[in-house]
A and B are shown apart, each in its own frame.
Chain A
C-alpha cells in the first residue's frame, strides 16, 4: 500500500515542487520584459556558451541600469542546456509555456538551435540564435534569426585567402563535434566551386589529446599545399602544437572556432603563423578609425574584459548583438507584442554590433555583410589583421 501511495504522492508533489522552483521572478514595480535564453554553459560547447552567458548577464544589468526597455525592467531567464539538444528543447518549452518569455536569445550550437525551431515556430516567439550553421536561416523561417556569420562564409574566407596565396590543395583535419563536422561539410561542398581540392580528410575523436598520427598522415600525403583545422576548444591548441612538433610546414589555417586568446596561449608559441577568419571585434585596435564597428566593439571588449578579467572572444559578441537587436526592436515596436517585435527585428537596419553591421530583411534573417569578418594571422602571441 505504502509503496503505491508514495508513487502517487511523488507524482502529485513533484510538479508542485517544480512550480515553486520555477517562480524565481522577483517582483518589480513595472511589468518586466522577459528575455529567455538557453545556452550551452556546460558540456562540449561550454567554451562558447560561457562567454555568451556572461555577456547576456552583464548587458541585461547594463540595460536595467539605464532604465530598461521602454521604461520596463528586463528580466533574463537563462537555462543551461549542457550542450544537449534534448535539454534545449525542454528548456525552450519551459521558456515559452512556463516563463512566458517575450523573446528568446540563445542556442549556442547548431544542433540545439535546430532542435527547437519547430517549437519556436509553432508558438510564435521571436528567436535569435547564436549558432553558426547556415541552415538555421536558410530557408528563412518566420520567427528565427541569427547573429553569427555562417560557417560557410568562414570557409569561403579561408579558401579566398588560400587562393590569393596560390594554394589550392588542402588537407583537412576536423573534430567530431557539430561545429567541426559542419565546417568540414562546407569545405567539401565549397572546394569544387572555388577550384580547391581536398587532398586529405582526417578527423579526431572527442577528448583526444594527441593528433600526431593524423597529422603525420597529412604530412606524408602528396601535394598538400595548405592545412585547415575545423574545431574548437582545447584541440585547437593541441593541433597547433602537434603541427609544429612533427614539422608540418605548409600554411596553417584554423576557423573562427579558434578565435580566442586561449588558442594562442594554449599552443604555447606553436600558433605563430596560423591564419583564421575572426570577427573584427578581436582586432579592434588595428581597425582603421573610420571602421563602422570601431566604437561599439571597443566598448564591448573593454567592458567584458574589465568585468570578467578574461580576454574577449567572438562568441560573447554573438550574444551582445542578439540582445541589442532585440532591445532596439522592442523600442521601435514600443512594447513586447510578439508579432510587432518580430517585424521590427526583421526591419533591423544599420545595426552596428560586435559581429558586424546588420541589415536584416524578410529574405535575410542574418543580414551581415562580409566586411566585418576579417582574416588574421597569429603574430607575436597576438592577432594581426591581414590587409
Chain B
C-alpha cells in the first residue's frame, strides 16, 4: 500500500527538490539546463499519459510542441499579440487540430499508429520549413520576450520559478487525472482494449481525450520554450525531437509520472555530460540508450523501485 497511494507525498518531494535546487545551482548555465529539463518534463508528463497509461504510442508530439512554439512566435512577433493570448490561441488550435486527427489516427494500432503520428509530425515539420514567409524557414525566427502587463521575466532565475510552478501544476493535473475515473478507464484500455470496451468503457472517447490533453500540454510547453529561448527553428517539430520525447518517457519508465521527470532530466543533461567525449559523443549516447533499455526494460524508475522492493524483505 504504502508506496503508490500517497501521491501527495510525491508532489511534496518534487516541491522540495525545486525549492532546494536554486541553492546548489552555481550559475545561469545550470539554471538553463534545469529550465530545459522542466519544459521537456511538461511535455513528457503529458506524453506519458498517452503512452504509459493510454498505451498509445506517438512519434509526432514534437509537431504539437513546434506548433505551439510557432503560434507564439508568429502571433507575438509578426502580429504583436500579447504573449498570453498567443499562447492560449496556440494551445486551443493545437487542441482542435489534435481532436480532429485523433479519431482516425487512434483507430490505428501499434506500429500503424506509430507511423500515423510520425507522418503527421513530419507534415507539420515540412510545413514549418517550407512556409518561409511565415516561419522564416529552416533558419528559424526570433521570438519576443514574454510579458504580462508590462512585467518581463528576463533572468534565468525568474524563468526557473515560472517553469517550476507550471511543472508542478502539470504533475498535479496528471496525477489527478490518473486517479480519476478517466484514469481508471485508461488503465483498463492499456490492459486490454477489447475487455475494456466489453465492460462498457467508451474506449475511443478516453483515448481521444488523453491524446488532446497531451497535445495541448506539448503546445503549451512549446510556447513557453519559444519565449524562454527567444529563438526557434523548425527543428523543434522534427521527427528526431519527437523521438527524443518518447525516449525520455520510456527511459524514465512508462506509466510513472515521476519516471517521466527523471527521463526528461537525464536526456537533457546527458548531452552536456558527454561533451567531454568529443568525437565519441554520439556513439556513447547510443550505447547508453541501448544499455539502459536492455537492462532496465521497464525504464529507470520502475526498475529501481522493483529492485528496492526486492531488496527489502
Q: How far is the CA of A111 from the CA of B132 in the complex (A)?
A: 13
Quick check: B235 and A7 within 8 Å, CB to CB?
A: no
B98 within 8 A of A: no
Which A residues from 140 to 188 make CB contacts under 8 A with B? 176-178, 180-182, 185
Quick check: A114 and B139 within 8 Å, CB to CB?
A: yes
- Smallest Cβ-Cβ distance to A110: which chain B residue: B139
Q: How far is the CA of A17 from the CA of B235 in the complex (A)?
A: 28
Quick check: B30 and A85 within 8 Å, CB to CB?
A: no
Q: Which among B13, B29, B130, B282 is the interface contact of A7 at CB below 8 angstroms?
A: B13
Q: How far is the CA of A176 from the CA of B127 in the complex (A)?
A: 11
Quick check: A94 and B261 within 8 Å, CB to CB?
A: no
Q: What mask results when residues 263 to 288 of chain B are scored 1 for a CB within 8 Å of chain A, else 0?
A: 00110010111011010011000000
Quick check: A3 and B139 within 8 Å, CB to CB?
A: no
A222 within 8 A of B: no
Interface stretch (choices A18-26, A64-72, A241-249): A18-26
Q: Which among A2, A21, A89, A98 is the interface contact of B305 at CB below 8 angstroms?
A: A2
Interface size on A, residues (CB 8 A): 51
Residues of B within 8 A of A97 (CB): 27-30, 32
Q: How far is the CA of A80 from the CA of B139 in the complex (A)?
A: 18
Quick check: B32 and A93 within 8 Å, CB to CB?
A: yes
Q: Which among A1, A8, A111 is the interface contact of B140 at CB below 8 angstroms?
A: A111
Which B residues from 18 to 61 make CB contacts under 8 A with A? 20-21, 24-30, 32-34, 36
Residues of A within 8 A of B2 (CB): 1
Quick check: B261 and A85 within 8 Å, CB to CB?
A: no
Quick check: B16 and A118 within 8 Å, CB to CB?
A: no
B78 within 8 A of A: no
Q: Which among B129, B230, B233, B273 is the interface contact of A18 at CB below 8 angstroms?
A: B273
Quick check: B272 and A94 within 8 Å, CB to CB?
A: yes
A240 within 8 A of B: no
Given A7-B258, A18-B273, A115-B233: A90 touches B33 (CB 8 Å cut-off): yes
Quick check: A118 and B137 within 8 Å, CB to CB?
A: no
Quick check: B132 and A181 within 8 Å, CB to CB?
A: yes
Quick check: A87 and B271 within 8 Å, CB to CB?
A: yes
A12 within 8 A of B: yes
Residues of B within 8 A of A7 (CB): 13-14, 17, 258, 261-262, 301
Quick check: A18 and B269 within 8 Å, CB to CB?
A: yes
Q: Which among A14, A115, A205 is the interface contact of B269 at CB below 8 angstroms?
A: A14
Looking at B129, B138, B273, the one whose CB has the most chain A CB atoms below 10 A away is B138
B162 within 8 A of A: no
A307 within 8 A of B: no
B199 within 8 A of A: no
Q: Which among B32, B261, B275 is the interface contact of A79 at CB below 8 angstroms?
A: B275
Given A21-B273, A98-B29, A181-B132: A11 touches B17 (CB 8 Å cut-off): yes
- Smallest Cβ-Cβ distance to A99: which chain B residue: B29
Residues of B within 8 A of A1 (CB): 2-3
B192 within 8 A of A: no
Q: Which among B30, B229, B308 is the interface contact of A15 at CB below 8 angstroms?
A: B30
Q: How far is the CA of A6 from the CA of B301 in the complex (A)?
A: 8
Closest chain B CB from A24 CB (angstroms): 6
Closest chain B CB from A26 CB (angstroms): 13
Q: How far is the CA of A86 from the CA of B130 in the complex (A)?
A: 20
Closest chain A CB from B159 CB (angstroms): 12
Q: How far is the CA of A7 from the CA of B262 in the complex (A)?
A: 7
- Smallest Cβ-Cβ distance to A95: which chain B residue: B29
Residues of A within 8 A of B138 (CB): 111, 176-178, 180-181
Given A90-B33, A94-B29, A97-B27: A182 touches B275 (CB 8 Å cut-off): no
Closest chain A CB from B180 CB (angstroms): 22
B9 within 8 A of A: yes
Residues of A within 8 A of B132 (CB): 181, 185
Closest chain A CB from B87 CB (angstroms): 19
Closest chain A CB from B283 CB (angstroms): 11
Quick check: A18 and B10 within 8 Å, CB to CB?
A: no
B231 within 8 A of A: yes
Q: Which among A10, A86, A118 is the interface contact of B236 at CB below 8 angstroms?
A: A86
A42 within 8 A of B: yes
B134 within 8 A of A: no
Quick check: B20 and A12 within 8 Å, CB to CB?
A: yes
Q: Which among A8, A22, A93, A176 is the interface contact of B13 at CB below 8 angstroms?
A: A8
Given A2-B304, A6-B304, A118-B142: A96 touches B269 (CB 8 Å cut-off): no
Residues of B within 8 A of A111 (CB): 138-140, 233
Q: How far is the CA of A133 from the CA of B26 in the complex (A)?
A: 35
A84 within 8 A of B: yes
- Smallest Cβ-Cβ distance to A100: which chain B residue: B27
Residues of B within 8 A of A15 (CB): 21, 24-25, 30, 34
Which 8 A-B pairs rank lowest in CB-CB distance, beginning with the nearest? Answer: A97-B29, A115-B231, A4-B13, A2-B308, A178-B138, A178-B139, A97-B27, A181-B137
* Contacts beyond the supplied A178-B140, A185-B137: 11 A-B pairs with Cβ under 8 Å: A3-B301, A12-B24, A14-B265, A42-B281, A94-B29, A96-B28, A97-B30, A98-B30, A115-B231, A178-B137, A181-B138
Residue pairs across A and B with Cβ atoms less than 8 A apart, 14 shown, are A3-B10, A3-B308, A4-B9, A11-B17, A12-B24, A14-B265, A14-B266, A14-B269, A17-B273, A86-B236, A98-B29, A111-B139, A180-B138, A203-B130
